[in-house]
Structures are given as C-alpha cells and as structure tokens.
A and B are shown apart, each in its own frame.
Chain A
C-alpha cells in the first residue's frame, strides 16, 4: 500500500510540475493574447502544436522501449510527402499509404535493433539519411496538394469543432487502449529490464519491433497533420522535429534508459514547448535571445533528467 501511494504520488508530481508550468505559461500567454481561450484560438494553436505532440508521442514510445529515433524527422517528411502527393486522389487512401509507409520504416528500424542487435542511435541515424533520400524521390520539390476544404477545416475549425484537438484526444485514447494490452505492459517491461522481461517469457524482439512500428504510426499521423496544416508537402520540413521531439520527451520525464515515463506527460511537455516558443515571439525579445531562452530551457530539462536518472541507477 505505501508503495502504491508513493508510486501514485511520483507520477502526480511529474504531472503536477508540468501542469503548474502550463498554468503559469497560459496565464502569461493570456496577457499577450487575451483571446487564447476562445474556440478560434484553441483551433489555431492545436493545429500548430499537433505535429509536435504526435511526433513527441512517437519518440516517447521508442524511448520507453529503451531506444531513440533519430530518423523521426525524415520519416515525418516522408509521410507528409506521400500524403501530399496522393491526397488529391482521395484523402483516406493517401492517409493509409502515408501511415503504412511510416509504420514500415519504424518496423524496419525495430528489426535492425532487435535482430541485428545494432544500437538504435546508429540504426536510426542511418535510416534518417535513407528515408531523407526516399522522400526526395517521392517529392523532389516542395509541392503536392491537399484539398483546400480540408486545410480550411483543419486550420479554422469544422462547424466550430477544433479537429486537431479531437485528433490528439483520439490518439491519446488509442494509447490508453494500447497501454492495457499485453503489448503495452510488455513495452514498459522490455524498456525497463530487457533480460528480466525475456526471462519472464516476453517476446522482447517482437515487442521492440511493434514499439518502433507504433512510433511510426504516431510519426505518420504527425506528418499527415503537418501536410494538412500547410496544404502541401516539403521534403526538408521535418528535420527539426527529431530534436524537438526528444526535447519534449525528456522534459516529460521519459527516461533515455527505457521503461520510465508517461504519455500524458509527453503531450503536456510538447504543448509546453510549443507555447513557450510562441510566448517568446510575443515578448519582442531579439531573435538571438529567443534562441538562448529555448536552449536554456532544454539544458535545464536535460540537467534535471540527468539528476533523476543518476538517482535511479545508484
């Protein structure tokens, strides 16, 4: 019982910390933008934050399994390009193709990590070049097109409904479901202690491959979101998402060593990073100071993370 209490408190402390930050940020934010809590603003902001939130969820999934995905940005661009190129022939088919492509790249990463035993950082770095090249073959120049009705509905709301917000809620719900399955439980077990998990009869390789593939689905959704937001595809646009997604995951308290972290914290952290960069735009700080502020926040996050992991491994 005390263990459970401690565990609950631990989780809540993480969430409470992030939640408190969010409240502070939103309070300051509403000073600059008094309409932040109106449906129109929520639609615009959620449209803007959706790709990062989904990308961070993908990155967190891989990190929970004890890996890291440096090919995230490239795969995000790939999904975006596939979707933008095919969207005119039917949005659903295009989305299916984009998701399949992203999940397949994830599974490929997973196979190399699980069966060849290669370090995730090397596999996914190599994959980032590979898929970056493939994306350029699919879409050599920025272009493609997404039906303008969809772009408008996504960015400005559909019958007063913030579609990106709904999408995030649905994806979180999906994660909740996954979390209760055997795979969901195994994911944390494999990430936390691979040998222990193997000894207790978990197919660790399958779990890893599934984790990378599931991350691919999240990344694919992020790419589709970005394509709908921008109404087009661009092979070079995804790159910053690799590091930003890692930053969000780290800020959320997802461990580099696997097995520790909560998805809702990741969503909150991605939201915080998005709001923070927006807020810095409002402050009128010189652009270089904005970069310094962003960097400082990340360093603090990583320092805090290191403190926490040091305690864990002692």
Chain B
C-alpha cells in the first residue's frame, strides 16, 4: 500500500517538475513570438533531422547555423529551431506536425524514411508551409528536394573499379545497412556500373552500419574468407576506412577501394599513396542543407524554385586528394570545399 502510494507520489512529483520546466518554456516561447511579430516578413524556420549526433550531421548543423545567422542579419529569417528525432521516424512525424501547429513558415527535413513522412510533409505543404527536404530524400514530389544522385554515386564507383581492375578480378562489396534506401540505391548503381565488366566477380556482399568499429569487424571476417580479392567496392567513408585499415594492419596488398570524403579514409589514403594505393572518392556535401535553406527562403519569398535540385557529386582522385585531406582535423569529419554563392544561386534557379 505504501509502495503504491510512494509510486504515485513520485510519479506526480516527476511530472510536476516536468510541467514546471515546460511552463518556463511557455513564457520564453511567448516572448519569442512577440519579438518576431515586430519584423513582419522574416521567416520562422525549423529543421527536423533523423539524427543530429553523427559528425556529418554536426557539420551540416554548423553550416546551417552559420547560414541562418547570415539570413537573420539580412532580415530574412526570424527564428530557427532544430528538432532531432534520434533515429525514430514516428518521432519525426510528430515533429513535423508540431511545426505545422506552431505555424512555421519553412520546414527543412533530413528524412528517416523515404516514404513514411510523405503524408505529414504533404499536409504541411497544403497548409502553405514551404517544405525543403535534403540529404536523405522522400519520394513525395510536393516538396523541394535537394540531393545527390545516389545511384550515380554507385555507378561512378562501379565503373571506376571495373576499369581499374582491367575488367577482371574478385571484389568484396561493402554496403551500408540492409533496407536503408541510400545504401540500396548506391549498390544498385554499382551493379549497373559493374555490368560493363562481366569479368569482375563479387565474391562477398557485406552489410554494416556506417561506423568504424562494426565496419572493421564485418570487413575482417569477409576478408579472411576471401583473402585473394583484387578490389573493394565500398559505399561509404567509415566503411572504406575500415577496409583499408584492415589491409594496412595485416600488411596485405593494397587493392583499390572506393571511398568518400571521410577524413580518416583520406588520411589513410594519403599515407599509403606512395605504397601504390589508389581510390576514387566522392562526397555527400554538407552544403546540401544550405542549398535547401536558400531554396526554401527564396520560394517562401515568392520566387520559383525547381522542385528537384540535383547537386553534382564531387570527385576526389589521386590528383586532387591534397585539396581535401585535412591532417589537423579528426578522422571523423568530412572535409568539403564550400560551394560559392553563385553556384548555389544557379542550382536554385535564381
């Protein structure tokens, strides 16, 4: 009896604390809205992202914040809020609905599912909100989508690898998690690219999270079963780094491995360039977020913006590697050269 009572009491206290915190939030929220009411045309912008903690997202977050600061200075943006769904797509739907209810003018989305957000995003668009989606894209054509062609990513890598091996050899395919749209698309593209080289055989298809530790384990077991490979099609930075690291550690032949602008991989590549290692890498540029923001702000201001903005994939090769690799930055970063404003304007059709 006492236990029950304690439980109820503790629960009430806990919720009371929460309510108090929330109540403080109410006051500050009211203050914020009255302040923004002063500037009439400045926009209320929200970004809902499926993850915020990975370093790529951190870099994107920083780039977006810098650009928002610029737009605030120009009087185009009044308020900017970031929502992190932490991997939970249902939570992301809740965030989008909350932004609709709170009458945001612009919603930016890095989607956790290519299909599940469509009804919520279309509802936002119907409510007159400008929705711009970048990086991980949805299938709805009612929102502005800013991305790279993931199939082309795979195709470009597949072709390069086939050519590099002279059209003959065994490779390991090193892909991201099964069932994730980006991973599936890159792999589909790679298979198309490799089709021109029927002599290239995929001896093992490994899936891993885009994370160094699990990737290293996954690659090591696939490699021990197939030590005589001639190349690796890898679709992401940490995966490529894990693969190259394994070859270097085991002092094996440094076969070509495709990659990404993950600094850890670029550093390893540079260290082993003299030993004959070569790669073709590309990038999912962080400035996708900035392009989406600029496109949304332009559209909310009445400009016509293309609904689908395909941003070209950068190419990192033996020749321009030095422009990308940053020896003083941590492994877990994605060096990229900023896109000039004129290029952004061209992409959003200004």
CA distance A297 to B22 in the complex (A): 13
Task: State which residues 243-288 of A face B: CB under 8 Å.
Answer: 251, 253, 272, 274, 276-288
- Chain A's closest residue to B3 (CB) is A311
Contacts of B89 in A (CB 8 A): 230, 234, 236-237
A-B residue pair count with CB separations less than 8 angstroms: 185
B310 in the interface (beta carbon within 8 A): no
CB proximity of A8 to chain B, nearest CB, Å: 12
Q: Assess the A253–B7 pair: CB atoms within 8 A.
A: yes
A116 to B7, CA, bound (A): 36
Cβ of B90 within 8 Å of any chain A Cβ, yes or no, is: yes
Count of interface residues, chain A, beta-carbon cutoff 8 Å:
77
Pairwise interchain contact A288-B84, C-beta atoms closer than 8 A: yes
Interface of chain B, main secondary structure: helix
- The 8 A CB mask of B88-116 against A (1 = contact, 0 = none) is 11110111011001100000000011111
A28 an interface residue at 8 Å Cβ cutoff? yes
Closest Cβ of chain B: how far from A4's Cβ, in Å? Answer: 13
**B4 at the A interface (CB under 8 A):** yes
CA distance A311 to B5 in the complex (A): 12
Quick one: which of B158-182 are within 8 Å of A by CB?
Answer: 177-181
Stretch at the interface among B26-34, B193-201, B329-337: B26-34
A155 and B119 form a contact (CB under 8 A): yes
| A197 contacts partner chain B, Cβ-Cβ < 8 Å | no
Interface residues of B in 1-32 (CB under 8 A from A): 1-12, 14-16, 18-19, 21-23, 25-26, 28-29, 32
CB-CB under 8 A from A27, the residues of chain B are 19
Question: Of all chain A residues, which has the CB nearest B185?
Answer: A141
Q: Do A293 and B18 have beta carbons less than 8 Å apart?
A: yes
CB distance from A273 to the nearest CB of B (A): 11
Q: Is B192 an interface residue (CB 8 A)?
A: no
From known contacts A28-B23, A142-B181, infer whether A236 and B113 are also in contact, taking CB-CB under 8 Å: yes
Chain B, residue nearest A11 (CB): B4
Known: A44-B97, A304-B11, A311-B2. A234 touches B102 (CB 8 A): no
Q: Is the CB of A229 within 8 A of B84?
A: no
Complex CA–CA separation, A293 to B86 (angstroms): 14
A276 to B12, CA, bound (A): 14
Residue from A24, A281, A308 in contact with B95 in the complex, judged by beta carbons closer than 8 Å: A281
Contact yes or no, B19 A283, CB < 8 A: no
Instruction: Report if B77 contacts A (CB, 8 A).
Output: no
Which of A31, A48, A285 contacts B94 (CB under 8 A)? A48
Q: Is the CB of B184 within 8 A of A140?
A: yes
A237 touches B119 (CB 8 A): no
Inter-chain CA distance A20–B15, complex, in Å, is 9
Q: Which residues of A contact B26 (CB under 8 A)?
A: 28, 31-32, 283
- Spell out A's residues near B (CB within 8 Å): 6, 9-10, 13-14, 16-18, 20-21, 24-25, 27-28, 31-33, 35, 41, 44, 48, 51-52, 135-136, 139-144, 151, 155, 226, 229-237, 239-241, 251, 253, 272, 274, 276-288, 290-291, 293, 297, 300-301, 303-305, 307-308, 310-312
Further pairs besides A274-B94, A291-B84: 13, Cβ < 8 Å: A9-B1, A25-B15, A28-B22, A141-B179, A142-B181, A144-B115, A230-B118, A231-B118, A232-B115, A281-B98, A304-B6, A304-B7, A308-B3
Closest 5 CB pairs of A and B: A283-B25, A287-B84, A17-B8, A232-B115, A311-B3
A-B contact list, 6 entries, CB within 8 Å:
A16-B8, A17-B11, A21-B15, A231-B118, A237-B90, A304-B6
